[in-house]
Chains A and B, each alone.
Chain A
Amino acid sequence: GENVEQHPSTLSVQEGDSAVIKCTYSDSASNYFPWYKQELGKRPQLIIDIRSNVGEKKDQRIAVTLNKTAKHFSLHITETQPEDSAVYFCAASSAVDSSYKLIFGSGTRLLVRP
């Protein structure tokens, strides 16, 4: 079935450094790729998304790149801050009859050291 692999599972960076999280997906028909941030004990919240007709999207310190040929996409966080510490999930859309579902990666626990 459809699958999304996410790496690394944990990532520790110094404040101010950049962080990169990578995902690969199996469903070649996937066309939508959101990223969610989940702080400890809280709900997942959308931070950025990208559609397949775009190769890169940026929003302040976060950016996402997509390579449809290779079926992988990445999240880039620059100038990391302690409040960026959280679990980050990538996801890919997958068609189910006339609807869609999100297949989530296994998450990356990001720790930003002050």
Chain B
Amino acid sequence: DTAVSQTPKYLVTQMGNDKSIKCEQNLGHDTMYWYKQDSKKFLKIMFSYNNKELIINETVPNRFSPKSPDKAHLNLHINSLELGDSAVYFCASSQGQGMTDTQYFGPGTRLTVL
């Protein structure tokens, strides 16, 4: 009955590799997000999708490509991984894209690039 789930929980990989993180929500929400939390715990939005349509793209390098096959899923693919990509990536979802729509976070994926 997990509301927002992500896989994998941990990801360790070499520089230059390509990797994907998957996210699914079973809340029936229309809007999904990707956040990056760096080593200093700073939480910053990367992307948001509403009903499979890209809404927000926060000047993220184009090595990062989100994909939403349906409104319950939002995956994140990262090409040519760099050391600076090491972080915890959180998926989140909300009922809609309104100002007061509560965002529910997934458990996070800790990405370590060696």
**Interface SS, B side:** loop
Interface residues of A in 33-77 (CB under 8 A from B): 34, 36, 38, 42-46, 49, 51
Taken together as a complex, chains A and B put the C-alpha atoms of A32 and B105 apart, in Å, by 18
Chain B residue with the shortest CB-CB distance to A107: B41
Contact B90 A34 (CB under 8 A): no
Taken together as a complex, chains A and B put the C-alpha atoms of A100 and B102 apart, in Å, by 11
Contact B90 A49 (CB under 8 A): no
Interface size range on B against A: 20 to 34
Taken together as a complex, chains A and B put the C-alpha atoms of A93 and B55 apart, in Å, by 15
Taken together as a complex, chains A and B put the C-alpha atoms of A101 and B104 apart, in Å, by 13
Contact A100 B107 (CB under 8 A): no
Chain B residue with the shortest CB-CB distance to A91: B43
Q: How many whole Å from A51's CB to the nearest CB in chain B?
A: 6
Interface residues of A in 3-52 (CB under 8 A from B): 31-32, 34, 36, 38, 42-46, 49, 51
Interface residues of B in 77-110 (CB under 8 A from A): 90, 97-108
Contact A43 B45 (CB under 8 A): no
Query: In this complex, which of A49, A89, A93, A100 has the most chain B Cβ atoms within 10 angstroms of its Cβ?
Result: A100
Contact B102 A31 (CB under 8 A): no
Point out the residues of chain A lying under 8 angstroms from B97, CB to CB: 98-100
Contact B45 A106 (CB under 8 A): no
- Contact A96-B56, Cβ < 8 Å, known A32-B100, A43-B105, A101-B48: yes
- Contact A100-B41, Cβ < 8 Å, known A44-B105, A45-B105: no
Taken together as a complex, chains A and B put the C-alpha atoms of A106 and B42 apart, in Å, by 5
Taken together as a complex, chains A and B put the C-alpha atoms of A96 and B40 apart, in Å, by 26
- Contact A104-B90, Cβ < 8 Å, known A34-B102, A42-B107: no
Contact A107 B106 (CB under 8 A): no
Decide if B50 is an interface residue (CB 8 Å cutoff).
yes
What 4 pairs across the A-B complex have the smallest Cβ distances?
A: A99-B97, A43-B105, A104-B43, A100-B99
Q: Which residues of B contact A (CB under 8 A)?
A: 40-45, 48, 50, 55-56, 58, 90, 97-108
